[in-house]
């Protein structure tokens, strides 16, 4: 899966409003992508009906769950350290049960349960509805495991509990799984084949969030552009659908319209896109609706056609530029962000220069950049030697990070002197006297609090900036 949240947001302990009738305590942490955070909200909702309230106090928990990520080696190492911590606490509180959820659970099931004996239950991304049964198994003294991947499960019938939310922004999951088979990615093996959620259930969830006071939602999927609802079933089976199913199917551009029109005052974001499935029609819908945010996260992974082919990315450099050009043509104000991997097997200096030149062409507003790390089970791990030396990877990574920072500053400077709409999300991390929020382009802006409050849409005049943050002063509420 493509990167959808900042690394700094990883490892959040999630807490919901307690129910008085619930007597058991659940401690749940999430690592990795936004989809994992969204899944944890589904898990909390399921377990709330089983008598669990969430807690931030690990020591008092009856059940400890960690929702895991296998995208990068660093994420797995972090989770292992957390499991060591959980088991140290378990010696003090022997009644406490520990479980692993998500992508790492599926990949390392036997190792966790049988070899290392560091967990009591292992639950894959499609098996969360089985948690009550699995917990009963554990309480009866048996190890419990369910990592079966589903062809149907979308959790569209579960109303997620909004955990540790600011009450302003929320995730809405629209697809599960992935069919793309990028050679560096483990997601198709840990989350299964791609299937989409009923659009009506998505619209109902968005309407419910608006009624609860939320002002912004992010439509989530491993690859949102690939969304396709034709009555249920796997994306790959659409070719076998009936004429009626095909005629009444809903694709991503149509879903975007449905959501934007259902709540015209709510900000709509989406993540993550894939260039091979992004259509001009989607770009046109983003341009047409003022409440769809003018920011597109469009991971490219490499600027080299040769490396893109090795990665099994089904787009070329030239096709990517056509998307960029169309976005710029329809929405000059739209921000574009990236995911990039350096040091993929066989990457040469010429390939690396292609990536740098692509960055110069696009001048991304921001991005997520990583040195390649081999993930067990992926096609790259099976067929390609990790042959780029670590020091070369780090040097190339430093070069693209440096260039991206220059582009960050170039992009934030364009706002100087402008007045932009900002949705207030929280107090500034650096000053209790300032609010922090984001523009439609997903750029962070800070400004003095005055009489404004979290959840307000405020017009802010930009007087200064850093490479990542706009600094200004409020000049009044926006029309929203």
For residue 448, count other CB atoms closer than 10 A to its CB: 14
C-beta of residue 3 within 8 angstroms of C-beta of residue 272? yes
Strand-pair category, 444-448 with 434-438: antiparallel
For residue 142, count other CB atoms closer than 10 A to its CB: 12
Q: In whole angstroms, give the CA distance from residue 268 to residue 424.
A: 15
Contacts of 191 by beta carbon, 8 Å cutoff, 6+ apart: 1, 103, 106, 125, 126, 149, 176, 177, 178, 222
Torsion of CA 353, 275, 267, 289, to 10 degrees: 110
* 189, containing H or E segment: helix 187-191
Torsion region of 177: left, alpha or beta (phi above 0 gives left; psi -120 to 50 gives alpha): left
Select from 60, 56, 58, 57 the least CA-distant residue to 23.
60
Cβ burial 31-57 (10 Å sphere, 16+ → b, else e): bbbbbbbbbbbbbbbbbbeebbbbbee
C-beta of residue 202 within 8 angstroms of C-beta of residue 252? no
| Angle at alpha carbon of residue 249, lines to 243 and 254, rounded to 5° | 150
- DSSP letter for each residue of 199-248: HHHHHHHHHHHHHTT--EEEEE-TTGGG-EESSSSBGGGGGGS-HHHHHT
C-beta of residue 233 within 8 angstroms of C-beta of residue 195? yes
Q: In whole angstroms, give the CA distance from residue 321 to residue 369.
A: 19
Residue 182 assigned ligand-binding role: yes
Residue 465 assigned ligand-binding role: no
| Angle at alpha carbon of residue 186, lines to 115 and 307, rounded to 5° | 135
Residue 178 assigned ligand-binding role: yes
Residue 293 assigned ligand-binding role: no
Structure tokens at 293: 């945010």
Q: In whole angstroms, give the CA distance from residue 273 to residue 223.
A: 5
Which segments of 414-444 does DSSP mark as H helices, in order?
Answer: none
C-beta of residue 275 within 8 angstroms of C-beta of residue 318? no
Q: In whole angstroms, give the CA distance from residue 308 to residue 316.
A: 7
Residues contributing to the annotated binding site: 33, 69, 103, 178, 182, 185
Residues contributing to the annotated binding site for [4Fe-4S] cluster: 33, 69, 103, 178, 182, 185
């Amino acid at each position: 899966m493509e990167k959808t949240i900042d690394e700094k947001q990883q490892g959040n302990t999630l807490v919901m409003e307690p129910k008085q009738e619930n007597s058991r305590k659940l401690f749940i942490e999430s690592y990795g992508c936004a989809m994992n955070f969204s899944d944890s909200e589904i898990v909390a909702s399921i377990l709330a009906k089983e008598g669990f309230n969430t807690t931030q106090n690990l020591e008092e928990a009856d059940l400890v769950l960690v929702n895991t990520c296998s995208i990068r080696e660093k994420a797995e190492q972090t989770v292992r350290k957390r499991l060591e911590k959980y088991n140290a606490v378990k010696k003090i509180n022997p009644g406490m049960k520990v479980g692993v959820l998500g992508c790492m659970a599926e990949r390392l099931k036997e190792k966790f349960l049988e070899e290392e004996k560091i967990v009591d239950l292992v639950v894959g991304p499609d098996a969360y509805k089985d948690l009550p049964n699995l917990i009963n198994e554990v309480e009866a003294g048996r190890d419990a495991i369910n990592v079966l991947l589903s062809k149907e499960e979308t959790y569209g019938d579960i109303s997620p509990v909004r955990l540790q939310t600011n009450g302003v922004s929320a995730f809405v999951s629209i697809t599960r799984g992935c069919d793309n088979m990028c050679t560096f990615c483990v997601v198709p093996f840990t989350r299964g084949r791609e299937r989409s959620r009923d659009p009506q259930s998505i619209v109902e969830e968005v309407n419910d969030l608006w009624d609860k006071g939320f002002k912004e939602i992010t439509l989530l999927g491993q690859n949102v552009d690939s969304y396709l609802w034709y009555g249920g079933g796997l994306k790959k089976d659409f070719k076998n659908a009936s004429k009626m199913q095909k005629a009444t199917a809903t694709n991503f551009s149509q879903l975007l319209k449905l959501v934007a029109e259902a709540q015209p005052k709510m900000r709509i974001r989406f993540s993550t896109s894939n260039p091979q499935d992004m259509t001009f029609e989607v770009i046109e819908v983003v341009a047409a609706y003022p409440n769809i945010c003018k920011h597109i996260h469009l991971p490219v992974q490499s600027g080299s056609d040769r490396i893109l082919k090795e990665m099994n990315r089904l787009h070329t450099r030239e096709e990517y530029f056509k998307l960029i050009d169309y976005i710029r043509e329809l929405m000059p104000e739209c921000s574009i962000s990236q995911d990039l991997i350096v040091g993929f097997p066989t990457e040469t200096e010429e390939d690396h220069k292609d990536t740098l030149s692509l960055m110069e062409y696009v001048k991304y507003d921001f991005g997520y950049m990583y040195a390649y790390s081999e993930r067990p089970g992926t096609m790259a791990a099976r067929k390609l030697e990790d042959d780029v030396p670590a020091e070369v990877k780090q040097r190339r990574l430093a070069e693209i990070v440096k260039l991206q920072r220059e582009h960050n500053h170039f992009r934030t400077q364009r706002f100087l002197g402008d007045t932009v709409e900002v949705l207030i999300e929280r107090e500034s991390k650096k000053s209790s006297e300032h609010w922090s929020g984001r523009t439609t382009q997903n750029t962070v802006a800070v400004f003095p609090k005055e009489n404004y409050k979290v959840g307000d849409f405020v017009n802010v005049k930009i007087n200064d900036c850093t490479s990542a943050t706009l600094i200004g002063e409020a000049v009044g509420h926006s029309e929203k």
